[in-house]
């Protein structure tokens, strides 16, 4: 039956020719190549759960009175949107699991994208000929962050409404065009009745379509250019080593999909996320106990931290204001993503390296790049932690002022230290041929033609591109010496 | 255990979990059980696939040639030639320019509908719903009288009849008479120790709701800006750059608190056309 169907299709489309070639396509076996796949599978989960939520969610700001089964909000006035997300949580069977899976999948999706980006950055996989895929990848990151923000904002609870207000205020602070931009994008002065419907269209239609389209391009380019690979014996710029798509890689990857989904399902059932019923409906004049000490989703935490550590400065001249939130809220992300987009070209300008690269760097092979990357990560990590300054201040019983002032210093000092330490660590690792997590493996030995072993002294280092794994692999591969 | 046995056990567990999941749904649903069973059902298949994949092929690592990425020089030249045949001919170039112009004009005109997405800013950001004589109303819909608050008390108020106006909320505080150091021109704005400040934080607009009576400070919960209530709500610390706008208050003959007028400056976060 399957065979007849395949023949039927093939006679009309010639699929066998493509499939035959595709089955033999080689995929590298290194674990770090899996992270991008995790992101892709999270997107699948987001779409499936998101479509389900869309059947029940009401994207409208009109006021209703709640009569559902959640006692604490009985009789409360709220938007239809918020009421429908309460119904999704309490009335729709399986609705809460779907909602929580959707939210967890969003958190894991963005984490996987960021780790994937780090993998590409620290191994130099963005270099020629893969600049276009780097640019598409950064765009996917930006769009996914925005879509996460829009999704979070749809529910119109007290926390999300506060987040939308922050977004509106940042838009408002943009010089010259800010007022128009904010009014056109949000549909008028905040708070208003327009933005939920608008964000809904962006969240379930426009951005997912763009994300899926760009991901398609990302994968098509990957298919054409083939994967990069780490250096190793027998690996060159002109070949690729790994498993064939069929059957081992396909089975492993589908297995990964099931496992990722299993983890998200378990989280969605067992780990509460965004319990909107505790926050109450959005009310612009109210800061509930929940607003204090509450944190946004992790991937916008760095922006929240930046808003908090920014001192109370702004520019006022000639009857105009460039308001304070413009700098942490618009300039910082602009610079962040601007530098990310341009990185392949900036690096090329400094290294003068214009050659195509299919072989990856180990992070230590490029000490300055690795150190810059680590310093940048430390910068955003500190901003992220600074986003919890109120939590830290109540845990450690220190005035929020002192915590904020501390972060204002750390934000400059730590990245510099991280840069220096990482650079020298890379240099000494590269010199000593040590694996950072493996440690030294004692002295190296060599098999003698007679079949015995002898120690090799370290004045005779292995070829520069060989890793410890290669040496082990080589020991297995080398044909046994002829018996004497 | 041999791999086949393990795969069989995993798939069996998965099947049972899936049936259990259906059962839980039929029985009325229970989020924790649903998540856990779905997780087991999926993980069983996932791990079984990975075990299975190991046994599917014994060939180990395979090496393949990449082959060239770029086309040949002939290909490139051939394509360029075919394009230039059309574009480079003198007569056609001016036609092409007209195509570009028409396309550009069309694109430009297609931008205009964006204007429909929102109202013009106008003076929406400069004004609120407070009018001369507006009575103050609290969040429960009660009008605020001159004896509503004790010294040290606070409440959130709106202009009567505009309870939904998001930019008009104020935090009303009753101080000891004479405690406040009014700014020049504001001496008559705080009858009987009542002072009202806009509740919209000048940073990014969170409601400034936390009043610490001992230090006379208002705290914004979002990014911890603090404001000195006795000194015109001047920002003490944090990212806020401006004082909270003060609403000029008065008491009408019936003893209700009223606004003398709208705020004398825009409330909320800064923007380009704010001086
Ligand atoms: C890039 C992909 C996406 C991300 C990062 C994302 C993220 C989010 C987040 C964080 C929420 C808030 C969830 C909550 O706590 O309840 C949300 C809600 C929602 N999302 Fe998505 N989403 C994505 C794609 C989609 C798609 C493709 C659809 C539909 C086709 C969708 C439909 C919805 C709906 C209807 C809601 C509101 C329902 C509710 O939770 O009450 N999402 N999204
Ligand atoms: S909104 Fe008040 S400090 Fe940021």
Q: Where are the domains of chain A?
A: 28-289
What is the whole-number distance in angstroms between the Cα of residue B207 and the centre of ligand 2?
8
User: Closest-lying ligand to the alpha carbon of A166?
Assistant: 2
A286 neighbourhood in chain B, CB within 8 Å: 139, 156, 207, 209
User: Does residue B76 form part of some domain?
Assistant: no
Among candidates B36, B49, B271 on the partner chain, residue whose Cβ is nearest the Cβ of A178:
B271
User: Does residue B67 form part of some domain?
Assistant: no
Place of tokens 């990245």: A415
What is the whole-number distance in angstroms between the Cα of residue B269 and the centre of ligand 2?
9
- Among the residue ranges A224-238, A268-282, B56-70, B118-132, the one predicted with the least confidence is B56-70
Residues B107 and B133 in one domain: no
Atom 16 (ligand 1): residue with closest C-alpha?
Answer: A99
Mean local confidence (pLDDT), A202-222: 98
Residues B136 and B109 in one domain: no
Quote the pLDDT of residue B45.
98
Helix (H) or strand (E) holding A208: helix A207-225
Residues B231 and B184 in one domain: yes
Residue A384 to residue A34: CA distance in whole angstroms: 26
Q: Would you call A212 helix, strand, or coil by DSSP?
A: helix
Residue B246 to residue B256: CA distance in whole angstroms: 18
Nearest-atom number in ligand 2 for the CA of B204 is 1
A304 neighbourhood in chain B, CB within 8 Å: 223
CA torsion B36-B41-B42-B45 (nearest 10°) is 150
Residue A330 to residue A45: CA distance in whole angstroms: 31
Residues B132 and B250 in one domain: yes
Residue of B170, B201, B204, B236 to mutate when probing chain A, most A C-beta within 10 A: B204
pLDDT above 90: percentage of residues in chain B: 82
What is the whole-number distance in angstroms between the Cα of residue A198 and the centre of ligand 1?
14
A442 pLDDT band (50/70/90 cuts)?
A: low
Higher pLDDT, A478 or B37: B37
Give the residue, out of A50, A84, A213, A294, with the most ligand 1 atoms within 8 A of its beta carbon, to mutate for a pocket test.
A50
Q: Do A183 and B118 touch (CB under 8 A)?
A: yes
List, for residues B169-182, the tens digit of each pLDDT value: 999 999 998 899 99
Place of tokens 């609403």: B247
pLDDT above 90: percentage of residues in chain A: 81
Which residues lie across from B198 on neighbouring strands? B170
Residues B42 and B4 in one domain: yes
The chain-wide mean pLDDT, for chain B, equals: 93
Q: Give the closest residue to B229 by CA, choosing from B254, B247, B212.
A: B212
Structural domain ending residue among the three candidates B120, B136, B168: B120
A166 neighbourhood in chain B, CB within 8 Å: 204-206, 222
Residue pairs spanning A and B at CB distance below 8 A: 272
DSSP letter at A439? B
Residues B116 and B148 in one domain: no
User: Does residue B236 form part of some domain?
Assistant: yes
List, for residues B60-112, the tens digit of each pLDDT value: 889 999 999 999 999 999 999 999 988 888 888 889 999 999 999 999 999 99
Quote the pLDDT of residue A185.
97
pLDDT above 70: percentage of residues in chain B: 100
Phi, psi values for residue B36, rounded to 5°: -65, -45
Residues B109 and B148 in one domain: no
- Among the residue ranges A240-244, B83-87, B144-148, the one predicted with the least confidence is B83-87
A185 neighbourhood in chain B, CB within 8 Å: 117-118
Residues B19 and B40 in one domain: yes
Quote the pLDDT of residue B57.
79
Phi, psi values for residue A272, rounded to 5°: -65, 135
User: Does residue B211 form part of some domain?
Assistant: yes
| Whether residue A229 has pLDDT greater than 60 | yes
What is the whole-number distance in angstroms between the Cα of residue A218 and the centre of ligand 2?
39
Among candidates B41, B224, B273 on the partner chain, residue whose Cβ is nearest the Cβ of A320:
B273
List, for residues A423-436, the tens digit of each pLDDT value: 999 999 988 766 65
CA-to-CA dists, residue A37 to A175, A256, B127, angstroms = 40, 8, 52
Q: Would you call A446 helix, strand, or coil by DSSP?
A: strand
Quote the pLDDT of residue A473.
52
Cβ B218 under 6 angstroms from ligand 2? no
Mean local confidence (pLDDT), A441-459: 62
| Whether residue B209 has pLDDT greater than 90 | no
Quickly count: other Cβ atoms within 10 Å of residue B266's Cβ.
23
Residues B105 and B180 in one domain: no
| Whether residue A233 has pLDDT greater than 80 | yes
Place of tokens 């990857």: A253
B156 neighbourhood in chain A, CB within 8 Å: 285-286
CA angle A413, A418, A422 (to 5 degrees): 160
A483 pLDDT band (50/70/90 cuts)?
A: very low
Quote the pLDDT of residue B125.
93
Q: CATH fold of A28-289, please?
A: Cytochrome Bc1 Complex; Chain C (1.20.810)
Cβ B210 under 6 angstroms from ligand 2? no
Residue A413 to residue A41: CA distance in whole angstroms: 38
> Is the Cβ of B71 closer than 8 Å to some Cβ of chain A?
no
> Is the Cβ of B64 closer than 8 Å to some Cβ of chain A?
yes
> Is the Cβ of B43 closer than 8 Å to some Cβ of chain A?
yes
Q: Where are the strands (E) in A61-111, listed by range?
A: 63-65, 77-79
A282 neighbourhood in chain B, CB within 8 Å: none
Q: Which domain holds residue B221?
A: 128-259
User: Does residue B72 form part of some domain?
Assistant: no
CB-based contact B212:B224 (threshold 8 Å): no
- What one-character-per-residue DSSP string does A324-361 give? TTHIIIIIHHHHHHHHHHHHHHHHHHHH---S---EEP
Residues B143 and B252 in one domain: yes
| Whole-complex ipTM | 0.94
Residue A28 to residue A265: CA distance in whole angstroms: 29
For residue B33, give how far its alpha carbon lies from the nearest alpha carbon of chain A (Å).
Answer: 7
CB-based contact A284:B169 (threshold 8 Å): yes
Quote the pLDDT of residue A288.
53
Quote the pLDDT of residue A272.
95
What is the whole-number distance in angstroms between the Cα of residue A325 and the centre of ligand 2?
10
Number of domains in chain B: 2
Mean local confidence (pLDDT), A313-336: 96
User: Closest-lying ligand to the alpha carbon of A298?
Assistant: 1
DSSP letter at A188? S
Question: Chain A residue closest to B34 (CA)?
Answer: A269
User: Does residue B66 form part of some domain?
Assistant: no
Residue B247 to residue B76: CA distance in whole angstroms: 72
For residue B202, give how far its alpha carbon lies from the nearest alpha carbon of chain A (Å).
Answer: 10
Residues B108 and B174 in one domain: no
Residues B252 and B136 in one domain: yes
Cβ A290 under 6 angstroms from ligand 1? no
Residue B229 to residue B179: CA distance in whole angstroms: 10
Residue of A30, A77, A255 to mutate when probing chain B, most B C-beta within 10 A: A255
From the number of C-beta atoms within 10 Å of its C-beta (0-12, 13-18, 19+), residue A159 rates as buried
List, for residues A85-105, the tens digit of each pLDDT value: 999 999 999 999 999 999 999
State the SS3 of chain B: CCHHHHHHHHHHHHHHHHHHHHHHHHCCCCHHHHHHHHHHHHHHHHHHHHHHHHHHCCCCCEEEECCCCCCCHHHHHHHHHHHHHHHCCHHHHHHHHHHHHHHHHHHHHHHHHHHHHCCCCCCCCCCCCCCCCCEEEECCCCECECCCCCCCCEEEEEECCCCCCCCCCEEEEECCCCCCCCCCCCCCCCHHHEEEEECECCCCCCECCEEECCCCEEECCCCCCEEEHHHCCEEEECCCCCCCCEECEEECCCCEEEECCCCCCCCCCCCCCCC
User: Does residue B71 form part of some domain?
Assistant: no
User: Does residue B82 form part of some domain?
Assistant: no
What is the whole-number distance in angstroms between the Cα of residue A166 and the centre of ligand 2?
9
């Amino acid at each position: 039956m399957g065979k007849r169907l395949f023949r039927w299709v093939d006679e009309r489309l010639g699929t066998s020719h493509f499939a035959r070639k595709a089955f033999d396509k080689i995929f590298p076996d290194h674990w770090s190549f899996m992270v991008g796949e995790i992101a892709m599978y999270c997107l699948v989960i987001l779409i499936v759960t998101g479509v389900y939520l869309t059947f029940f969610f009401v994207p409208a700001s009109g006021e209703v009175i709640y009569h559902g089964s959640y006692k604490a909000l009985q009789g409360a006035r709220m938007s239809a949107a918020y009421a429908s997300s309460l119904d999704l949580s309490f009335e729709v069977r399986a609705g809460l699991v779907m909602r929580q899976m959707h939210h967890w999948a969003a958190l894991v999706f963005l984490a996987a994208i960021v780790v994937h980006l780090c993998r590409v950055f620290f191994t130099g996989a963005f270099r020629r000929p893969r600049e276009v895929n780097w640019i598409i990848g950064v765009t996917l990151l930006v769009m996914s962050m925005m879509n996460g923000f829009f999704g979070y904002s749809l529910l119109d609870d007290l926390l999300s409404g506060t987040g939308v207000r922050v977004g509106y205020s940042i838009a408002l602070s943009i010089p010259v065009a800010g007022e128009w931009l904010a009014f056109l994008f949000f549909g008028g002065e905040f708070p208003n009745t327009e933005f939920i419907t608008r964000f809904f269209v962006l969240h379930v239609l426009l951005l997912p379509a763009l994300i899926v389209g760009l991901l398609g391009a990302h994968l098509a380019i990957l298919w054409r250019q083939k994967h990069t690979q780490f250096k190793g014996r027998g690996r060159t710029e002109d070949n690729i080593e790994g498993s064939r798509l069929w059957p081992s890689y396909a089975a492993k990857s589908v297995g990964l999909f099931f496992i990722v989904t299993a983890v998200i399902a378990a989280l969605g059932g067992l780990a509460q996320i965004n319990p909107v019923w505790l926050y109450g409906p959005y009310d612009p004049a109210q800061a509930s106990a929940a607003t204090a000490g509450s944190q946004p989703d992790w991937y916008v935490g760095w922006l929240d931290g930046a808003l908090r550590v920014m001192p109370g400065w702004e520019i006022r001249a000639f009857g105009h204001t460039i308001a304070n939130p413009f700098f942490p809220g618009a300039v910082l992300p602009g610079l962040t993503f601007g530098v990310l987009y341009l990185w392949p070209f900036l690096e090329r300008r400094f290294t003068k390296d214009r050659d195509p690269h299919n072989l990856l760097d180990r992070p230590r092979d490029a000490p300055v790049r690795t150190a810059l990357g680590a310093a940048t990560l430390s910068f955003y990590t500190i901003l992220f932690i600074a986003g919890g300054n109120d939590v830290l201040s109540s845990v450690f019983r220190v005035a929020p002022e002192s915590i904020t002032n501390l972060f204002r210093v750390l934000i400059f000092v730590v990245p510099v230290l991280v840069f220096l330490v990482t650079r020298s660590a890379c240099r000494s690792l590269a010199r000593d041929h040590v694996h950072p997590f493996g440690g030294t493996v004692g002295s190296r030995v060599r098999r003698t033609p007679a079949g015995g072993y002898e120690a090799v002294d370290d004045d005779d280092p292995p070829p520069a591109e060989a890793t410890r794994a290669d040496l082990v692999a080589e020991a297995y591969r080398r044909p046994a010496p002829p018996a004497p | 255990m041999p791999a086949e046995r393990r795969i069989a056990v995993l798939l069996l567990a998965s099947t049972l979990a899936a049936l259990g999941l259906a059962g839980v749904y039929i029985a009325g649903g229970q989020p924790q059980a649903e998540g856990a069973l779905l997780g087991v059902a999926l993980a069983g298949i996932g791990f079984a696939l990975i075990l299975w994949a190991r046994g599917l092929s014994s060939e180990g690592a395979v090496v393949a040639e990449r082959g060239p990425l770029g086309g040949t020089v002939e290909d490139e030249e051939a394509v360029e030639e075919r394009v230039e045949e059309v574009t480079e001919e003198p007569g056609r170039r001016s036609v092409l320019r007209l195509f570009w112009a028409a396309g550009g004009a069309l694109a430009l005109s297609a931008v205009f509908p964006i204007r429909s997405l929102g109202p013009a800013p106008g003076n929406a950001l400069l004004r609120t719903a407070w009018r001369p004589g507006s009575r103050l109303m609290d969040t429960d819909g009660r009008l605020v009288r001159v004896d509503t608050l004790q010294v040290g008390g606070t409440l959130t108020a709106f202009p009567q009849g505009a309870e939904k106006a998001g930019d008009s909320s104020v935090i009303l505080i009753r101080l000891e008479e004479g405690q406040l150091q009014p700014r020049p021109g504001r001496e008559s704005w705080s009858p009987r120790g009542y002072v009202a400040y806009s509740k919209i934080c000048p940073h990014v607009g969170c409601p400034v709701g936390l009043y610490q009576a001992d230090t006379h400070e208002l705290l914004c919960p979002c990014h911890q800006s603090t404001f000195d209530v006795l000194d015109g709500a001047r920002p003490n610390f944090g990212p806020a750059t401006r004082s909270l706008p003060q609403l000029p208050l008065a008491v009408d003959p019936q003893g209700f608190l009223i606004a003398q007028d709208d705020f004398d400056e825009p409330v909320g976060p800064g923007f380009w056309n704010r001086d």
